[in-house]
Chain A
Amino acid sequence: EVQLSESGGGLVQPGGSLRLSCAASGFTFSSHAMSWVRQAPGKGLEWVSAISGSGGSTFYADSVKGRFTISRDNSKNALYLQMNSLRAEDTAVYYCAKDTEVVPPAGDAFDTWGQGTLVTVSS
């Protein structure tokens, strides 16, 4: 069974940092790009970042470019999101999502999602 499980969320002060992790199982991890998608409380979905299967290509939303860094460790079947200079508007549930493609963009779809981890940025 394909599974994704996020961890690392919590309460952080504005300007602080947090590192999210996503543990993957049940599929060949390196054969799929992965993304982070977030959802602010009561709001819609916002794509945050993607990384190719090899980790050699990364992509970011303008809202997080220069502050967030996506990475992966294919030997551990793990995806990460390093979040620096956090702002109140980064408060959201962060989901990791499995991509149907190896290297975005290529008609990607997110066919498996984790349960999400809540990040709250507040003083």
Chain B
Amino acid sequence: IQMTQSPSSLSASVGDRVTITCRASQSISGYLNWYQQKAGKAPNLLISAASSLQSGVPSRFSGSGSGTDFTLTITSLQPEDFATYYCQQSYNTPFTFGPGTKVNIK
């Protein structure tokens, strides 16, 4: 299953609303996870099963979608949110990640 993300990068300001899209090459039901990775660090799980926010993750992060199309939304971008975001399907092995979306400071 191939995963694509758009955009590949974006520039945004603190307080902006940001939306990242992830698309699967076939239906994966709701088996879609989102990770945040900061430079030089391991990834961190933000959202599992398309919309389930992990404990400790700020409520400004939300996920939606099913089938082949999914979105990650950050409602009010904070300085600590500048990072690269990856989607990952867990519908079947081999598990596959999207290519990532880098969120830069405008």
Residues of A bordering B, CB below 8 Å: 35, 37, 44-47, 50, 59-62, 95, 100, 104-111, 113-116
Contacts and interface: CB of A to CB of B under 8 A. Distances in A.
Interface string B19-38: 00000000000110101010
Contacts of B78: none
Nearest to B93: A59
Interface of B: 30-31, 33, 35, 37, 42-45, 48-49, 54, 86, 88, 90-100
A113 B97 contact: no
11 contacts: A44-B100, A45-B37, A46-B97, A47-B88, A47-B95, A60-B94, A105-B31, A105-B90, A110-B35, A110-B88, A113-B44
Contacts of B86: 44-45
A105 B91 contact: yes
Nearest to A4: B42
Contacts of B54: 111
B93 A50 contact: yes
A109 B49 contact: yes
Contacts of B33: 109-110
Nearest to A108: B90
Contacts of A62: 94
A47 B97 contact: yes
Contacts of B49: 107, 109
A110 B44 CA distance: 8
**Residue among A46, A50, A110, A114 with the highest chain B CB neighbour number at 10 A:** A110
